[in-house]
Amino acid sequence: MQCTPTAISDVLVFQPKVFGDSRGYFLETFRKDIFQAHAGQVEFVQDNESKSSYGVLRGLHYQKPPYTQGKLVRVISGTVLDVAVDIRKESPTYGQHVSQVLDGEKKNMMWVPRGFAHGFVVLSQEAVFSYKCDNYYAPDYDAGLRWNDPILNIDWKIGQQDVELSEKDAKQPFINEIEPLELYEGGGQ
What long-range pairs does 185-189 form, CB within 8 A, spacing at least 24?
Answer: 187/9, 187/10, 188/10, 188/40, 188/113, 189/40, 189/70, 189/113, 189/114, 189/115
Rg (CA), the chain: 16
Does residue 118 have an active-site annotation?
Answer: no
Q: Which residues contact 143 (CB under 8 A, 6 or more apart)?
A: 61, 62, 63, 64, 178
CB 85 within 8 A of CB 116: yes
Point out the catalytic residue in the list 62, 97, 118, 131: 131
Question: How crowded is residue 116: how many other Cβ atoms within 10 Å of its Cβ?
Answer: 29
> Letter for the amino acid at 121?
V
Does residue 141 have an active-site annotation?
Answer: no
How many Cα atoms sit within 13 Å of 47 on the Cβ side? 5
Q: Which residues are catalytic?
A: 61, 131
